[in-house]
């Protein structure tokens, strides 16, 4: 019976609090106590009681932040805040256990109290920067029960951190009160909180707005569309706005072609730098883009003003709130069918070497393996997955594994390396690194099954190469179930296991010694994607070759007339020559030998022969015969019968060596 009466009392108290709220909401423009002058004050109330003693160190600890008890206030109006107060009614024994925080829609967090109040009980107060005393003075017990009617709150204190941190922010969005218990034993019950937001009276502002349109809301895949954005400063604005910037980064499914109109557009960031807009002035930009998405794919475009030198009366730049007039959006749906692209033909001057999965093994579940490929050396695979590799008997068991069920349309079926994964978010990627023992001039391979399934996954594959640590970008060729932008392929239609529709051909037309494949999801996938897979088929490498180039440099050191000051190549002049040999190929060259016949009018200076990796560092002394240890340290040089010979037992890709010597002109 007592519990029934208590429930009835709680209901009556909540109704009383709601009635008071409705009365106060009818009072517009009434100043709060402590404010110097009347301004428009907006009040937002949360009267959702917590469970009895729900606020305690076990259920609502202070760390992590996600464990804190919270109540929210939804602000639908857009205005600039000039003052913030918040009232809290909560029962809790030993007040010093409690910490409170207020978080604005922009993410600004202010701590209201930090374990102050000693052994006093309960909270019935307003946190107000203009209060006469700080929260450390809140040491008396307060009345807080289900039947307590607020406002007004029984006390007013300044919070631990100033609420003025919110001044100047836009009010629109969700504000959040966080409460936590930092100590054991005591607990409490939340009853009510009131958020008071004072609307700033602005004179120094502009009224900016953004509009967006597209030339065709149902474009054919492969065609171009025009996206037009118009930003305006209203005629009623009292001020011009400078430094205006609008962001509209093209989403997956659209590829930037060009931009024209006012200001400048950066397609990499999506930022349109507009400049200055006077009252009543507007500026427009038209972006041309190619539709890459497949038939039926919807694409959303969103633009927002992200920068302005002056406050906006009814919106805040770059806050991501769609209800404000500084943000505009539109959408298109791709129509028609897509054709598979035509991959480049791999031309190799010295033939090819194929890494064939039918001839290789892979232990199911292994994430690293190394293979000796004749002509290249060790080919090492390393796979890093922040998510989970799945096991499926149909596809060869525990992934990663070699399988031949997903065939890429090949008949008869061939083996390929499958990655069947479950990733926790669209930001995670499975990274496969392939390291080659020797750099190759070119390479080509196919990735099977880059596709899309609604509500499950949206494959994205990004491929990069490296040569001596320098980035090399490949050419990607799309299938019917995906499209390509740069060095990434995006799945947007389903491809069956036996179809070629999901194939993506990767072609490197420049030397590489490392390949990195990143596999994950793009924007069509759910926030937590489900099971998905791609497979890596055979890799064709152009056979590595060593190519030696030679450069001969000369420097006049002195002459009999000018000495070392601006010497000329006249009889008696001392000349220094440097012969530089460089391997411009991708393979190590062995038994490198170069000869140079000295001119008849040149007399070699005995003892001047030196070697090194380049002309500047060629300081290692060489004797003039072709024998001895100096011939392999690591380069050799000799002179015999007017002919210089330079040797190196091996010279790696991009490596070089130099031979220097001196003599006089006759």
* pLDDT, tens digit, 9 for 90 and up, residues 91-137: 999 999 999 999 999 899 999 999 887 789 999 999 999 999 999 99
- The answer, yes or no, to whether residue 22 has pLDDT greater than 90, is no
Q: What is the CATH number of the domain that holds 141?
A: 2.60.120.260
Task: Tell me the per-residue pLDDT of 203-220, one tens digit each, with 9 for 90 and over.
Answer: 788 999 999 999 999 998
pLDDT at 152 over 50: yes
| Res 120: pLDDT | 93
* Nearest to 552, CA basis, from 584, 585, 576: 576
Domain match, 70 and 167 both: yes
- Residue 24: predicted pLDDT: 36
Residues 105 and 72 in one domain: yes
Total count of domains within the chain? 4
Residues 531 and 383 in one domain: yes
Rounded average pLDDT over 351-366:
97
Q: What is the pLDDT of residue 545?
A: 85
Q: Spell out where 121-253 has E strands.
A: 123-127, 155-157, 173-181, 187-199, 205-206, 208-214, 224-233, 241-247
Confidence of residue 222 (pLDDT cuts 50, 70, 90): confident
Q: pLDDT of 274-315, one tens digit each?
A: 999 999 999 999 999 999 888 888 999 999 999 999 988 788
Residues 174 and 70 in one domain: yes
- How do residues 593-647 score in pLDDT, each as one tens digit? 999 999 889 999 999 999 999 999 999 999 999 999 999 889 999 999 899 999 9
Residue 61 lies in a domain: yes
Task: Check pLDDT > 70 for residue 27.
Answer: no
Q: Label residue 324 by pLDDT band (50, 70, 90).
A: confident
Q: Is residue 346 part of a domain?
A: no
Query: Given a cut of 90, is residue 180 above it in pLDDT?
Result: yes
Domain assignment of residue 70, given as a range: 2-199
Q: What is the pLDDT of residue 5?
A: 33
**Average pLDDT value over all residues in the chain:** 90
State residue 17's pLDDT score: 47
The CATH number that applies at residue 566 is 2.60.40.740
The pLDDT score that the predictor gives to residue 523 is 85
State the average pLDDT over residues 456-465: 97
* Residues forming a β-bridge with 434: 381, 515
User: Is 371 exposed, middle or buried (CB count within 10 Å of its CB: 0-12, 13-18, 19+)?
Assistant: middle
Where b means 16+ CB within 10 Å and e means fewer, 392-414 reads beebbebbbbbbbebbbbeeebe
**Number of CB atoms found within 10 A of residue 649's CB:** 12
Please state, in angstroms and rounded to a whole number, the distance separating the CA atoms of residues 349 and 436: 19
Residue 341 has pLDDT above 70, yes or no: yes
Q: Does residue 338 fall inside a structural domain?
A: no
Yes or no: say if 584 and 549 are a contact pair by the CB < 8 Å rule. Answer: yes
Closest CA to 209 of 78, 305, 350, 331: 305
Q: Is this model's pTM higher than 0.75 or not?
A: no
For residues 658 and 580, is the Cβ–Cβ distance under 8 A?
Answer: yes
Q: Residue 33 is encoded by which pair of tokens?
A: 């106590």
Mean pLDDT check: name the lowest of 95-104, 542-551, 553-562: 542-551
Q: Please report the pLDDT score of residue 38 as a whole number.
A: 45
**Same-domain pairing of 222 and 104:** no
Q: Which residues contact 428 (CB under 8 A, 6 or more apart)?
A: 386, 387, 520
């Amino acid at each position: 019976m007592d519990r029934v009466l208590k429930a009835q009392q709680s209901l009556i108290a909540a109704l009383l609090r709601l009635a008071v709220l409705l009365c106060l909401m009818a009072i517009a423009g009434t100043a709060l106590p402590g404010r110097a002058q009347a301004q428009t004050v907006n009040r937002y109330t949360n009267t959702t009681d917590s469970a009895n003693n729900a606020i305690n160190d076990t259920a609502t600890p202070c760390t992590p932040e996600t464990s804190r008890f919270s109540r929210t206030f939804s602000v639908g109006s857009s205005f600039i805040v000039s003052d913030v107060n918040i009232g809290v009614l909560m029962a809790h024994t030993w007040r010093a256990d409690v910490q409170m925080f207020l978080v604005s829609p922009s993410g600004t967090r202010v701590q209201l109290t930090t374990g102050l109040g000693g052994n006093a009980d309960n909270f019935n107060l307003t946190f107000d920067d203009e209060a006469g005393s700080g929260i450390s003075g809140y040491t008396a017990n307060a009345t807080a029960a289900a039947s307590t009617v607020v406002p007004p709150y029984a006390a007013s204190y300044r919070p631990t951190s100033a609420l003025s941190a919110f001044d100047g922010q836009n009010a629109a969005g969700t504000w959040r009160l966080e409460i936590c218990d930092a100590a054991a034993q005591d607990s409490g019950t939340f009853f009510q909180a009131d958020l008071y937001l004072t609307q700033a009276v602005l004179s120094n502002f502009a009224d900016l707005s953004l509009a967006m349109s597209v030339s065709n809301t149902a474009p054919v895949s492969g065609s171009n569309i025009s996206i037009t954005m118009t930003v305006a400063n209203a005629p009623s604005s009292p001020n011009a706005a400078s430094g205006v910037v609008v962001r509209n980064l093209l989403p997956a499914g659209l590829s930037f072609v060009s931009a024209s109109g006012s200001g400048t557009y950066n397609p990499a960031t999506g930022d349109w730098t507009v400049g200055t807009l006077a009252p009543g002035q507007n500026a427009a930009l038209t972006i041309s883009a190619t539709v890459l998405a497949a038939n039926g794919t919807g694409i959303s475009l969103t633009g927002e003003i992200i920068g302005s030198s002056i406050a906006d009366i009814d919106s805040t730049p770059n806050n991501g709130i769609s209800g404000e007039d500084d943000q505009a959006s539109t959408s298109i749906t791709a129509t028609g069918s897509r054709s598979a692209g035509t991959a480049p033909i791999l031309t190799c001057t010295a033939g090819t070497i194929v890494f064939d999965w039918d001839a290789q093994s892979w232990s199911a579940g292994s994430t690293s393996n190394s293979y000796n490929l004749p002509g290249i050396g060790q080919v090492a695979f390393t796979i890093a997955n922040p998510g989970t590799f799945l096991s499926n008997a149909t596809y060869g068991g525990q992934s990663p594994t070699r399988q031949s069920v997903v065939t890429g349309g090949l008949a008869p079926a061939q083996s390929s390396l499958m990655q069947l994964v479950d990733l926790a978010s669209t930001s995670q990627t499975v990274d496969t690194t392939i390291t080659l023992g020797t750099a190759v001039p070119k390479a080509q391979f196919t990735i099977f099954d880059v596709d899309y399934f609604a509500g499950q996954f949206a494959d994205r594959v990004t491929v990069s190469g490296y040569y001596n640590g320098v980035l090399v970008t490949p050419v990607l060729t799309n299938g019917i179930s995906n499209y390509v932008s740069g060095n990434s392929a995006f799945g947007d239609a389903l491809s069956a296991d036996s179809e070629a529709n999901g194939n993506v051909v990767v072609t490197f037309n420049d030397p590489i010694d490392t390949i990195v494949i990143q596999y994950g999801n793009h924007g069509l996938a759910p926030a937590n994607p489900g099971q998905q897979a791609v497979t890596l088929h055979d890799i064709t490498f152009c056979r590595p070759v060593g190519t030696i180039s030679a450069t001969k440099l000369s420097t006049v050191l002195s002459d009999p007339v000018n000495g070392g000051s601006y010497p000329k190549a006249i009889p008696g002049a001392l000349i220094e020559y440097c012969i530089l040999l460089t391997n411009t190929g991708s393979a190590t060259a062995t038994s490198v030998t170069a000869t140079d016949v000295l001119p008849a009018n040149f007399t070699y200076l005995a003892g001047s022969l030196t070697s090194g990796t380049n002309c500047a560092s060629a300081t290692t002394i060489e004797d003039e015969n072709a024998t001895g240890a100096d011939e392999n340290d690591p380069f050799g040089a000799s002179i015999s019968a007017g002919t210089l010979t330079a040797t190196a037992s091996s010279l790696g890709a991009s490596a070089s060596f130099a031979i220097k010597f001196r003599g006089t002109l006759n």
